[in-house]
Structure 1
Amino acid sequence: MKTIVIGAGAIGLSSAYYLRKAGTEVTVVDQAEPGSKASAHNAGWVVPSMSVPVPAPGMLPQALKWMTRRDSPLYVTPSLNPRFLGFMLEMLRNCTPVRFEAGLEVLAHLSSDTLQLFDDMASDGVLFESHTDPLTMLYTNSENLQKHATELEEMEEHIPGFKWRTIPGNDLVNECPFVRKGLAGGLQTFGDRSLDPASLTRGLTAACRRDGVDFRIGHPAKIRIAGNGSAEVEVGGEVLRADKIVVAAGVWTNKILADIGDRVSLLSGKGYGYDLPLKAGGPQFPMYLAEAKVAITPLSAKVRIAGTMGFGGINEQINRVRAQGLLTSLPRYFEDWPSITTPPEPWTGLRPMTPDGLPIIGTSRKRSDVLIATGHAMLGVSLAPPTGKLIAEMVTGENASRHLSSLAADRFRL
């Protein structure tokens, strides 16, 4: 069996990795270098404890309140485009406690074995920088802390071995001497991990090449229908034929699906980040600044901060005021960190968002030989291995143990 994977991000590379392990011939196609988009520009967290849908009770009303702030962590770029308005209305319908809890259960199920799958990849020789330090979440508001604690109680029921604890505000300065006094408290989870996402995509690319996966990089892919009715992919003037085509092109997925008259409900969510120098007196383990929605990831050669969520079109331009909001939020949580005079250059990444906050992993509405894997929001790295394994199961006809109707490509009205 031959399979073509369109997209060389974390999801596409994981799919190629597991498809090759399943014995199929695999070709990966992408116009950009592997891992050069959002798959390398993110916090690098593998976080079953934070595998929750973006649409949450109160999320959109909060975004509307923040619309006047140019550096707010959550914002919506207004548009009268009917598809944009339809997407936002569908997302609003999902911002209810019942739908949020249902989505949380689906994501917990999908991520339940992701840590083991990362371990299996490492044992197979996939090289990437990874850390097992606990994740500490800081809160300036005790109500927000309690709300998340309730979510963690639910996650604990679904994730084997997952543990967490509450850190009272008075104890924070003892355990984290670099944080500002007077915070409401913290939550610490055990069983999450952090990694360098660029190293992961490099490692997966190398492992795929080692196992015989073919790469066609540097040219756009176009799906077309052959005379016999089968789907094939044109890339760089060459026509590639396969039994199955997997579209894992992130926010560009609909551009690919348009070739077969299909589309999915997808919107770009822009995030920003900085890579800061390692310095004594700063965070030594992953931290999440809850109200600011900022992730902090200490790595071997840098400290990465990432955050913001901007709903809008596909636009990779950097808004420096928006990016600067990450840095200006830090003094609310830290005493003297970071001590930098000239901020480094910010980066951006576009996350593929769905109206219900769940990924799309399933067969195209138009063709049974085209599968779609996208819409992972901020969980692309975290859910890459289980998504890749699920795609391989679906392609080869094995029992797709993690396949839920909640992830189907046709679950939204278009």
Structure 2
Amino acid sequence: MRTIVIGAGAIGLSAAYYLRKNGVEVTVVDPAPPGSKASSHNAGWIVPSMSAPVPAPGMMLQALRWMLRRDSPLYVTPTFSPQFVRFMALMLRNCTTARFEAGLHVLSDLSAETLQLFDDLAADGIRFETHADPLTMLFQEPQKLEAHAVELETVAERIPGFSWRALDRQDLAREMPLVSGGVAGGLQSFGDRSLDPASFTAGLAAACTRDGVEFRLGRPAALQQEPDSSVSVVVDGEVLHADRIVVAAGVWTNRVLAGIHEKVAVQAGKGYGYDLPLQPDGPTHPLYLAEAKVAITPLDTKVRISGTMGFGGIDERINSVRAGGILTSLPSYFTAWPDLSEKPQPWTGLRPMTPDGLPIIGPLRRRPHVLVATGHAMLGISLAPPTGRLIAEMATGHAPGRHRASLAADRF
């Protein structure tokens, strides 16, 4: 049995790894080096505690309020593309309490085993920088802290070994002196992790090579329909045939599917970030600035800060004002950190977003031998191993039925 995986990001590499472990002959195709796009340009969080869909009650209203701010953390660049308009309408429809809670349950279940799967990857010799420090969410608005505490209660019921505690101002002053007095409180979770995403994708690619996965890099792949209605993959003029095809191309998924006249409900969500030098008075464990929507990840050689979510099509250009909004949000949370006397250079990554905030994992209805794995939003690293394992189970006919309809490509 042969499977071609299109996409060498965290999701595609995970799919290739688990397929190979199931005895499948695997070829990975990507025009870029493994993990060079959003898979290495992200916060690097493995976060069962944040297994929540992006569409949430009040989310679109907040985006409209921020429309006039050039550095807002959430923004929509208006376009009259019918596909984009339909996507945003569907997302608005999903910004209800009932749909949010349903999505939270699905994502929590997907996340339930992710920590064990990362441990299994490490036990198999995959080397990557990882940290198990607690994650602290800082809130300036007490009502938002209370609302998220309710979410953590749901997560704690579904994630083995997960726990959390609330921190008031006195706790923060005692335990985190770098936090400013304008922060009302925090929520600290135990059971999440962080990693250097570039080291993870590099380690996963090396393990795939070790296990016999073939890589064809540097050339884009296109799908085409054969006269017998089967689907093949064309790479630099060469036609490749396989029993299964997995499209894990992130925001570029629809460009790959265009050759067979298929389409999934995915739009690009642009995120930005900076890598700052380590400082003696800087953070020592991951932080999330709730209102600013900024993630802070201390790593061995740097501190990564990332944030923003912009809807505006596939555009990898860097808007310095948008990126700079991450930096300008920091003084309201910290007393002195960071030292920005030397201005850092921003990077960007495009997250594949779906209207309901749940990933697309599964076969196309009209072409069941073509499987899609995309739409993980900001949980691509966190959900990479469970997604890869699920794709391998589907491709080999051993997939469980749980949540299959919630993740189906044609659910919209």
Quickly name the TM-score band, shorter chain normalised: over 0.9
Partner of 1:344: 344
Could you give the per-residue CA deviations for residues 269-315 of structure 1, whole angstroms, max 9, x where no partner exists? Answer: 00000000001001000000000000000000000000000011000
Aligned ranges for residues 349-364 of structure 1 at < 5 Å?
Answer: 349-364=349-364
What corresponds to 1:100 in structure 2?
A: 100
State how far apart, in whole Å, the 2-side matches of 1:230 and 1:265 are.
23
1:326-405 to 2 correspondences below 5 Å:
326-400=326-400, 403-405=403-405
TM score, norm. by length of structure 1: 0.98
Partner SS state of residue 177, structure 2: coil
Asked if the contact 1:196/1:299 (under 8 Å) is kept, the reply is yes
Q: Kindly state the Cα deviation for residue 226 of structure 1 after the two structures are TM-superposed.
A: 2.6
Contact 2:364-2:410 at 8 Å conserved across structures: yes
Amino acid at match of 2:296: I
Q: Is the 8 A contact 1:270 1:308 kept in 2?
A: yes
| Aligned-partner SS, 1:246 | strand
State the distance in 2 between where 1:337 and 1:402 align: 45
For 2:405 and 2:304, the matched residues in 1 are separated by 36
1:31 alignment partner AA: P
- Name the % identity: 68
Q: How many positions carry a matched residue from both structures? A: 412
The equivalent residue for 1:172 is 172
- The ranges of structure 1 where at least 4 consecutive aligned residues each deviate by more than 4 angstroms after the TM superposition are none
Determine if contact 1:261/1:366 at 8 Å carries over to the other structure.
Answer: no
1:403 Cα deviation (Å)? Answer: 4.7
Are 2:105 and 1:118 aligned?
A: no
SS of the residue 1:67 aligns to:
coil
Give the whole-Å Cα distance in 2 for the aligned partners of 1:402 and 1:191: 24
Q: CA deviation at 1:80?
A: 1.3
Distance 2:69 2:387 in 1: 36
Which letter does structure 2 place at the counterpart of 1:279? Q
Who is 2:61 aligned against?
61
SS in 1 for 2:37: coil
CA contact (8 A) 1:2 1:24 kept: yes
How far apart, in 1, do the equivalents of 2:403 and 2:371 lie?
Answer: 13
- Give me the whole-angstrom Cα distance separating, in 1, the residues matched to 2:74 and 2:144: 16
Following the alignment from structure 2 to structure 1, what is the Cα–Cα distance between the partners of residues 28 and 403? 23
Q: Which has the higher mean CA deviation after the structures are superposed, 360-369 or 29-38?
A: 360-369
Match of 1:216 in 2: 216
Instruction: Return the TM-score normalized by structure 2.
Output: 0.99
Per-residue CA deviations over 1:45-66 (Å, capped at 9, x if unaligned) read: 0000001000000000000000
Following TM superposition, by how much is the alpha carbon of 1:177 offset from its aligned partner in structure 2, in angstroms?
1.1
Deviation at residue 227 of structure 1 after TM alignment: 3.4
**Where does the alignment leave 5 or more consecutive residues of structure 1 unmatched?**
none
RMSD, matched Cα = 0.9
Question: Could you tell me which amino acid in structure 1 is paired with residue 76 of structure 2?
Answer: V
Cα deviation code 1:168-193 (max 9, x no counterpart): 11210111111112421000000000
Distance of 1:347 and 1:214 partners within structure 2:
30
Equivalent residue letter for 1:328:
T
1:230 deviates by 2.1
Are the aligned partners of 2:5 and 2:26 in contact in 1 as well (CA < 8 Å)?
A: yes
The residue aligned with 1:260 is: 260
Distance in 2 (alpha carbons) for counterparts of 1:24 and 1:62: 46
Separation in structure 2 between the aligned mates of residue 89 and residue 104 of structure 1, nearest angstrom: 20
Aligned-partner Cα distance in 2 for 1:210–1:340: 42
**Bigger mean CA deviation after superposition, 230-239 or 166-175:** 230-239
Counterpart secondary structure, 1:165: strand
Deviation string for 1:177-232 (max 9, x for gaps)?
A: 11112421000000000000000100000000000000000001011123333221
